[in-house]
Chain A
Amino acid sequence: MAGFGKYMIFLGSLFVRRETFATYYKLILEECVQIGVNSALLFILVSTFIGAVTTVQTAYNMINPLIPRFVISQVVREMVVLELAPTIMALIYAGKIGSSMASGLGTMRISEQIDALEVMGINSSSYLALPKIIASVLMYPLLVILAGVCALVGGYLVGTLAGILTETEYIAGLRSSFNQTEISFALTKSLVFAFLIASISSYKGYFTKGGALEVGIASTGAVTTSVIAVLLADYFLAQLILR
């Protein structure tokens, strides 16, 4: 509970004694490139394969000849939109971006760079963590959309090239019983996950104490705590929105 209280105080400290808008604007853009552009390739690769594998496995389990083939792509769409794109990608995002944030801030802490900011009269937590959190909240939903599209394309390529279903069947399945709320749900989840991962990782990195070993521990702790927070939030959001 003490850790949670410290985390809440940390979040509160992000919004006091801020620097000028121009300073944050530049930092946010830099972080957007770091988070968004530099993660895009990984997201494209992972999501395309996840979509492809999901298609193959769904087809493998659809052995009843009475079930039309387009149901395969319908199931793939549901899985991708509801869980694979926002949640599974969040776990990958925590591993890549979360650990990078925590280790970066941890290194700045142990090499006195954070102290240097404080001595200059700069609110170091706000200056360092707020742009990361804002950039994360801006970029992660875009990465989720990208991942969703890539997963469906991956499913399409494998489904049609392997002869699992035809192009018409695949597209019919994607459009069948489509509920727009699911997209809103996925994007809401992505916003929450992005905030949780960036804020928890920044918190873990910012309060690193010790040396290189502790930076590693902070980085691992950031990923573990972020993953747990994402999974809990996933459950509560599902209960809250989909009931």
Chain B
Amino acid sequence: MIKVRDISKSFGDKMVLDGIDAEFEKGKTNLIIGSSGTGKSVLLKCIVGLINPDKGNVFYDLRNFTDADKEVKSEIRREIGMLFQGGALFDSKNVEENVMFPLEVLTKTPLDEMRDRANHCLKRVGLENVNKKAVSEISGGMKKRVGIARAIVNNPNYLFCDEPNSGLDPQTSILIDELIAEITHELDITTVVVTHDMNSVIGIGEKVIFLYKGHKLWEGNNAEITNSGVAELDDFVFANKVMSQMRDR
């Protein structure tokens, strides 16, 4: 479980996050949703330590991450897997090397075992016979899958996904969402997904946190989201014409 307590962050005069409290549960896909510029990615970066919050703390299973020294932070980070918006795969390495990378640098696993593990993870995300391909040779959806394979290769306890569907077609988006949810349940890990895709919310939102102008306005799950009674959330959920028509019926 990950707990976020009173997180605030400003850039200059602009308050991006204001006193966010949240809990992300183990074995569930926890979604952070909200419109663009509302602080979702900043909150995610505060949680993984890529941005230092001005105030507040993040706890990984009761371990205070924000105030920890660099060594402890490094230890906790080794339990984290993260899928970045653009994949963030290393251009200088091929697909297999990208997936093996965390094992290569962070463990003393023999090469054969690393290769087996990488192949297992690639197979798990539905990719086979692409091991030797360069990153530039694979599609956007494949890059996301490779990113997921790399994120899970080290058996993480925490999985973070920053806009996993951005730039993907609707079918591939659903496949990626399903993959994230399956992996979360299979490995029984805490998964946090930042998204503004309503298909993801409806499909995999076992726990959903809605951010609005740097504040947490609502918390619930995908079954409750259409009856939240929060006007700002309704505007977000029913912004799509199809969703709006469904509500009116």
Contacts and interface: CB of A to CB of B under 8 A. Distances in A.
A108 B93 CA distance: 13
Interface string B85-116: 11011110000000000101110000000000
B105 A112 contact: no
Contacts of B50: 115, 118-119
B181 interface: no
B108 to A, nearest CB: 8
B122 to A, nearest CB: 18
Interface string B131-150: 00000000000000000000
Interface string A115-152: 11011111100010000000000000000000000000
Interface string B37-72: 000000000001110000000000000000000110
Interface residues of B, number: 25
Interface in A192-243: none
A113 interface: yes
Contacts of B85: 112
Contact of B105 (A17, A107, A118, A122): A122
B186 interface: no
26 contacts: A16-B70, A17-B74, A19-B105, A23-B105, A111-B88, A111-B91, A112-B84, A112-B88, A113-B88, A113-B89, A115-B50, A115-B84, A116-B88, A116-B90, A118-B50, A119-B48, A119-B49, A119-B80, A119-B82, A119-B160, A120-B77, A120-B105, A120-B106, A121-B77, A121-B78, A121-B106
B75 interface: yes
Contacts of B86: 111-112
Nearest to B70: A17
Contacts of A121: 73-78, 80, 106
A33 to B, nearest CB: 12
Given A120-B78, A121-B77, A115 B88 contact: yes
Contacts of B75: 121
Nearest to A30: B92
Closest 3 CB pairs of A and B: A121-B77, A112-B88, A116-B88
A115 B80 CA distance: 13
Interface of A: 16-17, 19, 23, 107-108, 111-113, 115-116, 118-123, 127
A122 B88 contact: no
A115 B146 CA distance: 17
B203 to A, nearest CB: 25
B124 to A, nearest CB: 19
Task: Identify which of A19, A107, A115, A119 gathers the most chain B CB atoms within 10 Å of its CB.
Answer: A119
B77 A119 contact: yes
A115 B49 CA distance: 10
A107 B77 CA distance: 23
Nearest to A26: B104
Contacts of B104: 23
A23 B101 CA distance: 11
A232 B75 CA distance: 42
A197 B100 CA distance: 32
Given A108-B90, A120-B105, 15 more contacts: A17-B74, A23-B104, A113-B91, A116-B90, A118-B77, A119-B77, A119-B82, A119-B160, A120-B77, A120-B80, A121-B74, A121-B76, A121-B78, A121-B106, A122-B106
